[in-house]
């Protein structure tokens, strides 16, 4: 078995779900407090969603950059505590009538100006630029161009910027040097705060499980700066787009709309872009959940003019050669394969040949006695069991509203509990399994109903907004989780 994985358990909760006075959770005191609670409950893993900048609907799976982190996760109070921003200026900003997002932006700008003369800070900032120049400068340029031209996509930029003429970029760099520096400084501040949090987690024996979406938004700096790596027409627009055929989540499939990779071209570059991407995220996290793993064996290509994902075709994609190249250059990879949906023998072989744990979702397990997601049917320890993921209802919401009568009966027959006690007994059921990891959404630890759901696939309204109250993760729940963890030998 992959030696990077040992019997453990943890909790799934994104940074944005943390409580606090801002309009999203961030890297402030509540993040450190959550790590303390994980430690007290003897958990080893904290799984998060992508750290990237979310789209206008709040989804971190549709970002303008595969590398840039969401600056809205920076905690302003910590900037004051570290003497990067004066307390008086901070309170002046808080007193303005701007939105919370605008206030944060103002905080970052003032921090940049106040630290310009701090030699140690600016030395560290320029080291950060040097290390990340392969994506950082283009990210800042892209943000500026989108602002200047109020464009929905880079294909609407003027031709000299759309196709990245060197003289035009040089002119942009000179004219907007201060803004470029500020945008890069935001990324530095995130980096600085994140690594302090990561170090705190490691000191308490907590490892962080990150997330890489397989696909990239067309409206991204990555596609703009590397158009040759994607299936685009002569205008820069995709002619085939991503999605999945009809499945459990949607009768008409899911039409994601991302451009597809040109794996032939990526191979010619020795997969340099993907190497950079994986190396980059492995600096931030200890393990990676590789989203839509199925797409690394073959992808569902849909005509760009289609209105649903029902009609498409499976096209071979990365395959064994890609992962072998990664292993040769990066070693054994700490990857969890999100192998849900339409999974074939070829996908299973790709997963198993590289010893990536797959995923088992207990909410999907009760439609038959031979369902492979039932713990008694697991054939290997090398898997990760979840009650549900960020794409599922909470377990309480699932049992009350989504499970069929037959599923409810099978569930209660196995859990040996009353309906109101399903969430914790579902956790126990997974913890007792042979799966190497058990990860539980915090909503299920707190026994919350469907109003605490994080995301409903195929919809864009009302997702990604759930915020928790860490006081509800109280000593009784911590002790209960600790006892269960010790009893199931997941320390």
| Residue 338 among the catalytic residues | yes
Cα separation of 451 and 467, whole Å? Answer: 11
β-sheet bridge partners, residue 313? 301
Distance of CA 357 to CAs 5, 296, 339, Å? 9, 15, 9
Give the distance from CA 54 to its chain's centroid: 10
Catalytic pick from 391, 421, 449, 450?
A: 391
Catalytic pick from 338, 355, 407, 444?
A: 338
Catalytic pick from 186, 291, 339, 355?
A: 291
Please choose, from the candidates 481, 484, 364, 487, the residue with its C-alpha nearest in 3D space to the C-alpha of residue 39.
Answer: 481
Contact 322, 263 (CB under 8 A): yes
| Residue 77 among the catalytic residues | no
Q: How many CB atoms lie within 10 A of CB 137?
A: 18
Q: Which residues are catalytic?
A: 291, 338, 391
């Amino acid at each position: 078995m992959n030696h990077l994985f040992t019997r453990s358990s943890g909790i799934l909760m994104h940074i944005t779900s943390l409580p606090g006075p801002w309009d999203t959770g961030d890297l402030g005191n509540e993040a450190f407090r959550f790590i303390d609670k994980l430690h007290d409950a003897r958990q080893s893993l904290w799984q998060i969603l992508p750290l990237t900048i979310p789209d206008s609907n709040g989804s971190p799976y549709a970002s303008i950059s595969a590398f840039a982190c969401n600056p809205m996760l920076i905690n302003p109070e910590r900037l004051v505590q570290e003497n990067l921003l004066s307390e008086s200026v901070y309170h002046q900003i808080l007193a303005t009538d701007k939105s919370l997002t605008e206030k944060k932006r103002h905080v970052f700008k003032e921090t940049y100006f106040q630290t310009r003369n701090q030699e140690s800070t600016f030395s560290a900032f320029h080291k950060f630029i040097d290390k990340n120049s392969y994506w950082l400068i283009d990210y800042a340029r892209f943000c500026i161009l989108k602002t200047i031209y109020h464009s929905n996509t880079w294909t609407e930029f003027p031709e000299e910027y759309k196709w990245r003429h060197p003289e035009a970029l040089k002119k942009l760099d000179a004219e907007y040097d201060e803004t470029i520096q500020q945008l890069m400084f935001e990324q530095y501040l995130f980096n600085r705060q994140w690594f302090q949090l990561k170090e705190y987690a490691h000191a308490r024996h907590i490892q962080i499980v990150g997330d890489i979406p397989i696909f990239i938004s067309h409206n991204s700096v990555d596609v703009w700066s590397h158009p040759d790596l994607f299936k685009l027409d002569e205008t820069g627009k995709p002619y085939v787009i991503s999605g999945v055929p009809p499945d459990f989540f949607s009768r008409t499939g899911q039409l994601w709309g991302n451009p597809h990779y040109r794996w032939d071209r990526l191979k010619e570059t020795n997969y340099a872009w993907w190497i950079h991407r994986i190396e980059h995220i492995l600096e931030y996290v200890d393990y990676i959940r590789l989203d839509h793993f199925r797409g690394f064996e073959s992808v569902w290509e849909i005509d760009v003019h289609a209105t649903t994902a029902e009609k498409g075709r499976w096209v071979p994609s990365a395959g064994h050669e890609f992962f072998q190249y990664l292993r040769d250059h990066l070693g054994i990879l700490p990857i969890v394969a999100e192998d849900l949906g339409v999974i074939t023998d070829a996908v299973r072989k790709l997963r198993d040949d590289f010893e990536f744990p797959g995923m088992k979702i207990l909410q999907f397990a009760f439609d038959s006695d031979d369902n492979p997601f039932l713990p008694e049917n697991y054939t290997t320890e090398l898997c990760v069991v979840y009650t549900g993921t960020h794409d599922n209802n909470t377990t309480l919401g699932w049992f009350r509203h989504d499970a069929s009568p037959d599923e409810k009966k099978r569930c209660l027959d196995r859990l040996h509990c009353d309906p109101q006690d399903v969430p914790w007994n579902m956790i126990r059921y997974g913890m007792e399994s042979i799966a190497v990891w058990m990860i539980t959404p915090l909503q299920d630890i707190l026994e919350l109903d469907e109003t605490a759901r994080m995301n409903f696939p195929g919809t864009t309204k009302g997702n990604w907004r759930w915020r928790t109250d860490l006081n509800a993760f109280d000593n009784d729940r911590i002790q209960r989780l600790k006892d269960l963890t010790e009893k199931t030998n997941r320390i």
